[in-house]
Structures are given as C-alpha cells and as structure tokens.
Amino acid sequence: MVAAFSASNQQKDPNGATQVYFYSSECSDGDTNNGISPTPTNRRRNPSSTGISKPKVSSFGNSLKFQLVDVQSVEAVTDVHAAEFLNNGKTLLVTDLMHQVALYDLSPPFYSRKTLVFASDVVCHVGVSPKLPTLFALAFRNKPFVKLYCTTTDKKTTRTEVAEHRTGFKFPVHRASFDSSGFFLAVAETGFMKSWISIVNVNTKKPSNKRFVAHAGRISGLQWTTTSSLLLSSSHDGYVKVWDPVAMSNLLSVHIETYGIHSMLLMEGLSVLVTLGYNDCRLQSRSIVQLHELEASRLVEMNKQAANIQKIWKGRKTRQLIAKYIKGSEA
C-alpha cells in the first residue's frame, strides 16, 4: 500500500482539507510481491575499487503500476509533509513537520484516533519500528533528544493511549531509524562541524554507549539492512557509508555527489542504492557490488556470537544442575 497527499487549499477554501490517496502496487505481470524490476546495469568494478558501480540513467524497468483504491480527507493537521504506516498497516501516522502529529485508523470509517500537539517543539523526523507495530520515534528541530511513543487501545472504550519516553543525547538529533528487530534505534546528531551516529537499546532505555563520528556534514539518511543489521548513512558531504554498528567501524565509504546527498534508499532485494542529490532533481541508482560480501561476513560474526552465548548459557545451566542434584545428593 502506498499513500500520497495533496497540498491543502485553505487559502482559497478555509474548509479545504488535505487529501490522502491510497494506491495498491503491482507489476505488469501481475506479481505484487516484488514491486520494482531492475534492468541490466553496469556491475564492472571501477579502478578505484569503491564497491559501487557507475550510475545508469535507465536502471529500472516500467513494470510497476499503481491503482487508486481509496481517497480520504485529513483534517487533524493543516498540511501533511511526512507519513508512516503503523500497526501492520492498520494505522497511518501523519505530521506537518511542525507542531502536530496525528494517528488515523484505516479500518472503515477513516478517522483520527489521536492527535499529539507540541507547543514549542518542531517535529523534524519520524522513525517507525518494523517489528513492534505500535512503536515510533520523533526527532525535533535543534533538540538533543528523541521521544519514543508506544500506542495502546482500550478494548472497552476503544480509546487510544500513548506512552511517552524521552531519550537524551549530546547534540541535536535530526534523524532516527529502527533496526529490523525493533530493539535498537540509530540517531543522527549534528555538531558544529561533524555528525555523529548514536545507537540506543529501546528496551533498556539507557543512554547510548555506542557513539561514533560518521560524517563531516549533516546526515541526510539512515537505514539498517534487514538481514545483517548493517547501518547505511548518507550526508551533505556527498558520501554514503556502510557501518558495522557493533564494532562501530566503517566498512565502505563512497563519494557519490559533490554537492551533497539530499536523501537515499537502499533496495535490499536488488542491492541497489537510490540517491537524490542537491545539484539536480534526478534519482540516481547504483549497484552495491560489495554489499553481499559485507553482509555475509557480518552474518558469520553474528552466528559466532550466538554460538558463544548459547555455549555460555548451557555451561551455566549445567553447573546449576550439578550443584542442585549431584552435590545435593552427596550432602
């Protein structure tokens, strides 16, 4: 499901509300699982061995089609500048990226369940947990913290309650991204000359003990890989970097855009990175030829860690059983 919004027309019509258009996507061959089909790209390694192939203008085929399925009006906020699906697609979060965030129930009838109003704080980014369907994070302009929200619905009154938790950082936070498990949240902090990435465990809600310098410019994109939990970042310095969040080390660093990167998206099934630069209005797609190698190496490390944890757990259980039954019977 895809949601698109029209700009409100309140200057001409005071009662005019923003329209939201819901589309279902499908390929030309009828397959709705894989939305985008890539055309052949140049995957030859360049002399600099950066791990990313040269950009191709026609990197995607025209096999993706959208069909309009519903149109609704959003009245809780004046303008919609960001939106995310929550609760396995049953709830739509919309915000004007100013002082309001609204939660809409998508099951008929379409209505606003909850509206969050921030008098002085200005919302600048929304992060949604892919694993915990009712958890989301808000970052605020020039504020060194993020607010975590978890929504619950009372079965008797059908009233939506929102629990809030605030996590502080050293510098202002302007981006937030959950990993595939929903347990870890990566945030981008910006100082005077550099940008940092901090990672916090949303379950323990303790201050971050993983923090490292990431870019020379403001971070414009954060995204986790779903299979190996590697972290990608893009910045106004024109670089896209791949990070190992456990070792806090840079695995791959590639300069893509001289004038900086406005936004990025990694399409993992295709190992394709889509970027939008500041110097033009074109989307550029590049094949990350080293991503599979990096993820395979990361998975080996994760399996070793899991085996060690299991070994330690079995050792503790064995010692407990020995102390309980063998030593107990001798006494």
> Tens digits of per-residue pLDDT, 185-218?
999 999 888 999 999 998 887 777 889 999 998 9
Q: What percent of the chain has pLDDT over 90?
A: 32
pLDDT tens digits, one per residue of 238-277:
999 999 988 899 999 988 888 899 999 988 777 788 888 8
H/E segment holding residue 102: strand 100-105
Which long-range contacts does 228-232 make (Cβ < 8 Å, 24+ apart)?
228/294, 228/295, 228/298, 228/299, 228/302, 229/179, 229/180, 229/181, 229/184, 229/298, 229/302, 230/294, 230/295, 230/298, 231/186, 231/197, 232/264, 232/266, 232/273
Q: How far is CA 88 from CA 51, 66, 154, 292, in A?
A: 35, 20, 18, 28
Q: How far apart are CA 263 and CA 261, in angstroms?
A: 6
- Judge whether residue 305 has pLDDT over 80: no
User: What's the CA gap between 101 and 78, in Å, rounded?
Assistant: 11
Task: Look up tokens 């002082």; give the residue.
Answer: 99
Residue 37 banded pLDDT, cuts 50, 70, 90: very low
Mean pLDDT of the chain: 81
pTM for the model stands at 0.76
Higher pLDDT, 302 or 72: 72
